[in-house]
Amino acid sequence: MQRRPGEDERKNSTVHGEKWPTLIPLFPFVNCLSSSFALSAICSPSPRDGVVSREMLDNMQNAEIIGKLTKEFNEDSVNYPLCTPGPQLKRFKAGLCEFVRVLVRLCQNSLIYDEYLFPSLVALLTGLSDSQVRAFRHTSTLIAMKVMTGLVEVAVLVSVQLQTSQRQHDMENSKGAHERAPGRLEDLQATISELQENRGELSCMMNTTFRGVFVHRYRDQLADIRATCIEELGMWLQKDPEDFLNDGYLKYLGWTLHDKQSPVRLRCVRALQGLYQEKEFIGRLEFFTSRFKERMLSMVLDKDPEVAVEVVNLLLLLQQTEDGLKEEECGHIYPLVYASNRALASAAGVFLFKKLKTVLASEQQSAKSGNAAFFQILISFFIQSEFHEHGAYLVDSLWAAARSELRDWDTMTALLLQESGLVYEEEGVLIELMMCAVRQAAQATPPVGRTQGRKNVTGKDKKVQEQDRRRITSHFIPLLPPLLAKYSADAGKVSLLLKAPLYFSLEMYSSAAGLDKHLDLLLSQVWGIIEKHTDVEVLEACATLVSTLCADRYTFSSRTNLAFSQLMDGLTECLSAYLGDLVQGTADDDDVYSAAAALKRIAALSCAMDPTGWKLFDSCLELLKSRMESREFDKELMVSALRCAAFYLMWAKVNAVNSTPAEVLIHTAFILLWMLRNSLTLGPSFTHLLGCSPPAHNNATTANPRRPCRGQEEVKRLKKDMRSFCRVCETCLCLNQNEIRDQAFELLCDLLLLYSASSARVEPELGALVHLPSDSLRSEMSAFLLDYVFSDCEDAELDVEGEEAMKITLLQKRRNQLAGYCKLVLFGVLDLTAATNVFKHYNKYFKDFGDIIKETVSKSKVIDPVRSAKTVCLCLQQMFSEMLTEERSRQDVGEIRDLAKRLAMSFGIDLKRARKPLVALHVEGVRFAFREPPEGDEQRSNVAFLEILSEFSFKLLQQDRVHLAAVLKSECPDAALSWPSVRLYQRSLEGRSSAKAKVTGERGDAPTAKRKRSTPQVGGSWLDGSSVHSSLPPPALASTAQRQPACRATESEPGSEDEFSLGSSMRRVKPCRHPSLSSSHTVPTVDTEDINSPLNLLSLIADDDDEEEDPDFKDYESDSDNDSAYTLPSTRHTSASALDELFA
C-alpha cells in the first residue's frame, strides 16, 4: 500500500499555491458534475454557463461557486440529465455512478488521505445538496451518496487490513527476542498507526457526508432524492455492519416505511430484505423488528402492489427467523392468496406454503404417506378462510410454490375414493381444489380477475401443458365413472366432477387401447345424473359435457349423439304422458312436478342438441296458454316451457340459413351467446351447421335430422310461431311472477334481435322471417323497463333483510335486461325514440347503469347523430312535461338540468363534428318552449324549458350561436323577450366558455381528441359493432355477458335514412307503469292481438323529421366520441370493464 504524502509536502503545495498537481485527477470529476448542471440549462446564453472552471476553483469559495451556478441556471427548464427522457441520456445516471465508483477506487490508497481533495469535494457537494435548484440538489445528492458508498467500501477494506496487521503484530510480539525478524515489529506498528489514522480520516469524511447530506436529504421534497438516500443507506448497513448496523442508522429505515411515495417505500423494504437475509444480522435487528413489525404487517395492504409484494417477501424472511411471526400476525397475510393482483397472491401463496410445511414438520405427521397430510391441512385452511367460492384463486396462488403437490392426482383421487378418511365438507373442498388444479394444469391461465400480463407462451410451455393434459386424461378416464357414481346424489360435487372431461385430450378415448370401454361408463353415468337431478347447476354441467362429447371432430361422436338422442326420446315421451292432463287442468301436483322436471332436462339438452326434430314448440306453447288461462302459474313448468320454445325458434332460424356458411356462423353466435348468458354451452349440432355431416344414428326413430325450413310453407309457419311466442311473452310480462316475467323479457330481447331486419340483409330470401314487435309489445317492454329495471322497490326489501349477495345478483340481472333493451334500440328493432325511457334515468341510476346508458348514447350518435340529439331533447321534454303535469317543485327543474349537463358532455370535444346535432337539438328545444299552449291555458308554461336547453349552449360554435339567436327571435313573441328564462338562454348563446373554441370554430378546425374514437371497433366494449348498416352481420345476442366476434364495424354516413327506415316507421308508444296481474285478475287471450286498441302516445318531436336541414350543415361526420387497497376477486366475471361482463 502506498503511503500518503507527508505533512510537509501538503503544506508546501498549499502554501505556494501549487495545489493543482493533487487536483488534476479531480478536474474530470468536477467538470462532469458541472456539465451535468450545464446540460439542464437548456436556454443558457453560452455553452460554458454552468461549468466549474479551474479559475473558479482557485479563486472562489464554495458558496460563491454555488451562487454563480444558481444565477446562471435556467429556472424555466424542468429537465436535467437525471430526469430527462430519451436514448441519449438514458444511461447517464449509470455512467455517472460508475464514474464516482471508479474515482474512489483509484484514489483509495493516496488522494483520499491528502486532507484536501475529498474534503473539498464533500464540502462542495454538501453545499450543492442544499440548493433550492432541484437539478443541483438531486445531482449532488446522488454523487455524494455514491461517494459515501465508495468511502464505506474503502473503510471496510482498511478495517480488514488493520485487523490483519494487528494479528500479525500480536503474533510477532508473542515471539521471543531471538525469533523476531529485525525491524519487523516496528514496521507493523507503523503500519497499524497509519491504518488507524486512515480509518479515522475516513470516519470523519463519512460522518461529514452523512450529517451534511443524508440527514437533510432523506426527507427531501423530491421522492427520487429520498429513494436514493434510503437505497444507499441499505448498502452501507450491509457492507459495514460494525459501524452502521445499529439503532442510530436503522431508525431512518423505520421512519421511511411511512413515506407517502411508493418508490421510497419500495427501496426501504428492499433494503430491509438485504438485512434480514443475513442470519448474523438478526440479533442486531431485534429492537428494530419489535418497534416496526406492526408497520410492516400493515404494509401488506399497501396501495402499490409492488410494495405489497416485497413486504410479503420481507415477512417471509422474518418468519424464517428464530422468533418468527405469531399466528395472529400471519393472519394478515393469509387472505392475500385470494387477492386480485396475481403477483401479490403468488407471494402470499409462497408464504402460506412455507407455513403449511412448517406446521407439518412440527406435527410430524409421518403416518400419512405422500402428500395426504398436505392436502388435509390445505383443506382445513380453505374451510377456515370462509372464501368457499374462490378455490381457483387459492390454487393459482399456490401453483408456483406447490405445483408438484397440486398435481398429485393419485393422492387426491385416492382420498376421494376411500370409504373413510374425509368428512362430507372436506370431500367437497378437495373436489373443488382438484378440479381447479386440473384446469390450471390443462389451460395454464389465471382465473377471472387475475391477469398474467404480456407473457408470451413459448413452445416449451405448450409442450409441458400438453403433457399435463395427457397425464390428466390417462389418470382420470378410468377413475371418473367411479367418482361420479359415488357422488352422483350430491349436486354440488357432481357438477364439479362433470367439468373434468372438458380438460381431457378426448381423442385418447379412441386412440388409446382399453379406454373406449370407459366412455360407455361415462355416458351411462351422465345419463343417470340427468335423470336423477333437476338442479340447474347440474343440468348446465351435463349440457356442457354433452356438447363437448358430441363434437364431430371425435370419432366416437356418433355413439354419444345416439345415447343422448335416446335420452331426449325418453324425456319427450315422459312430457307427452302428462301434457294432456296439464292442458286440461286435471293434473295433480305429482304430474306437474314430473312434467316440469322433464321440461327442465329438455331445455338443458336443447343447448347441446338441435331440438327441432322432436317438434316440442306447439306442445310448449299450448301448455303456456293453458296455464295462463287457468291462472295456475307454476314457475318451474312455465320457465322451462318458455326456454324450450325459445330454443326451438333459435335452432329453426339457424336451420333456415344452413346453406350459407357465413350466416351459419352469425346465427350460431346468437344462440351461443344466449346459452352462455345462462351458463349453458354449445351443442354438437353447431359443428354440423358449419358443413359437417349430421350424426349418424342406428335407430331411425331416435335420429335427429336437420331439415332446413327453406320451403315457403315452413317459413310462414316459422314466422307464425314467432308471432305466437311473442304474444305469449307479452302476456307473461304482465304477470306477478318474477321468474316468469324476467325470463320472458330476456327471451324477447334475444329473439327479436335474431329475427330482426338486420339479420336478413345478407340473405334477402330470409326477409319473410323478419318480425317486428307490435305497438302493444313495445309498450309492455317499456313498461317492464320502468317497473322492474329502474325501480328501487326490490332493493328496499333486500336492504331490510340485509341480503347483500341477493342485491348483487339482482343488479346483474337488471343490467342484463337493460342491455338487451338498449341493443334492440341500437339495432333498429325499436325506434330510437324508445331510448328516452333509458336516457331519462342516466343521472339517477348512474352508479348502477351509467356505463350502459353512456355507451348507448354514444353508439346512437354513430348511427344517426341528428336523430340521437333529437332523442336527447325528447327525453328532456318528456321529463319537463311530466313535471308540469304532476305539479312538482322547482327542485325538479334542477334535477333535469343536472341530467342535461351530463348528456351535454356526451357530445365530446370535437365541436365541428357536433355542430349539426347540437343545432338540431336547440331548434327542437326552442320550438317546444314556444309551442302554443292548450286551449284555456293562457300562460306558456314550456318557456322554462329554455333553462334546461341552456346547458347545451357551451358546446356551440360562434356562427351557430348567431343562427340560434335568430331562431329564438323568430319563435319568441316580443312580449316574452324579457322573461327570465328567455334572457337566461340568450346569455348562454352570447357567452363563450373558451376563447380557444371560438378560434377553432373560425378556422374550421376541431380540437384534437386525446384518443381517436371515430371508428367503433368490436371487442372494445359491449356495444361495438352496433351500427346497423346493410353490410354488417346480425348483432350478438342481447343480455349476455360474453365476447363478440372480432370484426370491425364500418362507420355510417351521418343521417342515413337506410339505418332508421324501420325505426322511423314505428309508432312512438308511451310506456306506462302498471300493476302486475295476479292470479285474481283476468288475462286477455293471447291468440288475438288488439292492434287497433287506443294507445297513449307521447310525441313531443315535431313531425318535420324529414324536412331539409339548413344549408350551412352539409358535410359533417357523425360523432363517435366516447367521453370517457386490495379486493378479493369475485366469482362473477369481472374484466377490465364492467361492460365486458355483459357483452365484450
pLDDT digits (tens, 9 = 90+) for 744-754: 999 999 999 98
Q: Give the per-residue pLDDT at 992.
A: 56
Top mean-pLDDT range of 187-191, 290-294, 757-761, 995-999 = 290-294
H/E stretch holding 54 reads helix 54-59
Contact between 751 and 726 under an 8 Å Cβ cutoff? The reply is yes
Q: What does the block give as the cell for 1142?
A: 355483459
Q: Give the per-residue pLDDT at 997.
A: 42
Phi, psi (degrees; rounded to nearest 5) at 786: -75, -35
Which of 377, 278, 263, 357 minimizes the C-alpha distance to 310?
263
pLDDT of 1078 > 90? The answer is no
DSSP string across 753-801: HHTSGGGGSSSGGGGGG--PPPHHHHHHHHHHIIIIIS--HHHHHHHHH
Contact between 671 and 611 under an 8 Å Cβ cutoff? The reply is no
Q: Give the per-residue pLDDT at 1115.
A: 36
Average pLDDT rounded to a whole number, residues 60-71: 81
Instruction: State what percent of residues in the chain have pLDDT above 90.
Output: 49
What's this model's pTM, rounded to 2 decimal places? 0.75
Question: Who wins on pLDDT, 1081 or 161?
Answer: 161
Give the three-state DSSP class for 735: strand
Q: What does the block give as the cell for 38?
A: 450545464
Contact between 1033 and 666 under an 8 Å Cβ cutoff? The reply is yes
Question: Who wins on pLDDT, 96 or 799?
Answer: 96
pLDDT of 241 > 90? The answer is yes
Q: Give the per-residue pLDDT at 767.
A: 80
DSSP string across 673-733: HHHHHTT----THHHHHTTPPPPP-S-GGG--------SHHHHHHHHHHHHHHHHHHHHHT
pLDDT of 217 > 60? The answer is yes
Q: What does the block give as the cell for 883?
A: 313535471
Q: Give the per-residue pLDDT at 10.
A: 41
* Residue type present at position 33: L
Which of 144, 142, 149, 110 minimizes the C-alpha distance to 1?
110
Q: Give the per-residue pLDDT at 1010.
A: 37
Which of 8, 195, 242, 33 minimizes the C-alpha distance to 122?
33
Q: Report the DSSP beta bridge partners of residue 1048.
A: 1017
Top mean-pLDDT range of 98-112, 118-132, 221-235 = 221-235
Question: Who wins on pLDDT, 297 or 385?
Answer: 297
How far apart, in whole angstroms, are the C-alpha atoms of residue 1038 and residue 1041?
9
Q: What is the pLDDT of residues 162-176, one digit of tens each?
A: 999 988 888 888 877
Q: Give the per-residue pLDDT at 522.
A: 94
Q: Give the per-residue pLDDT at 75.
A: 59
pLDDT of 245 > 90? The answer is yes
Q: Give the per-residue pLDDT at 762.
A: 64
Average pLDDT rounded to a whole number, residues 262-272: 96
How far apart, in whole angstroms, are the C-alpha atoms of residue 518 and residue 504?
13
**How confident is residue 109, by pLDDT bands cut at 50, 70 and 90?**
confident
Q: Give the per-residue pLDDT at 69.
A: 80
Q: What is the pLDDT of residues 295-335, one digit of tens each?
A: 999 999 999 999 999 999 999 999 988 888 999 999 999 99
Which of the residue ranges 253-267, 423-437, 922-936, 999-1013 would you say has the lowest mean pLDDT? 999-1013
Which of the residue ranges 156-165, 216-225, 481-490, 1120-1129 would you say has the lowest mean pLDDT? 1120-1129
Sequence-distant (≥ 6) Cβ neighbours of residue 425 within 8 angstroms: 383
Which of the residue ranges 630-644, 761-775, 836-850, 1048-1062 would you say has the lowest mean pLDDT? 1048-1062
**How confident is residue 6, by pLDDT bands cut at 50, 70 and 90?**
very low
Which of the residue ranges 42-51, 73-82, 742-751, 982-991 would you say has the lowest mean pLDDT? 42-51
pLDDT of 11 > 70? The answer is no
Q: Give the per-residue pLDDT at 715.
A: 85
Q: What is the pLDDT of residues 633-646, one digit of tens each?
A: 889 999 999 999 99
Question: Who wins on pLDDT, 283 or 937?
Answer: 283
Average pLDDT rounded to a whole number, residues 969-984: 87
For 1113-1139, give one letter per residue: b (16+ CB within 10 A) or e.
beebebbbbbeeebebbebeeeeeeeb
Instruction: Report, in this order, helix, strand and coil percent for the chain, each rounded to 5.
Output: 65, 0, 35
Average pLDDT rounded to a whole number, residues 475-502: 94
* Mean pLDDT for the chain overall: 77
**How confident is residue 835, by pLDDT bands cut at 50, 70 and 90?**
very high
Give the three-state DSSP class for 940: coil
Which of the residue ranges 186-200, 653-667, 711-725 would you say has the lowest mean pLDDT? 653-667
Average pLDDT rounded to a whole number, residues 52-72: 79
Average pLDDT rounded to a whole number, residues 661-682: 42
**How confident is residue 999, by pLDDT bands cut at 50, 70 and 90?**
very low
Phi, psi (degrees; rounded to nearest 5) at 712: -60, -40
Q: Give the per-residue pLDDT at 792.
A: 76
pLDDT of 112 > 50? The answer is yes
Average pLDDT rounded to a whole number, residues 874-878: 93
Q: Give the per-residue pLDDT at 884.
A: 84
Q: What is the DSSP secondary structure assignment for residue 1033, as one 8-state letter?
A: P
pLDDT of 760 > 60? The answer is yes
Question: Who wins on pLDDT, 797 or 351?
Answer: 351
Q: What is the pLDDT of residues 718-741, one digit of tens each?
A: 999 999 999 999 999 999 899 999
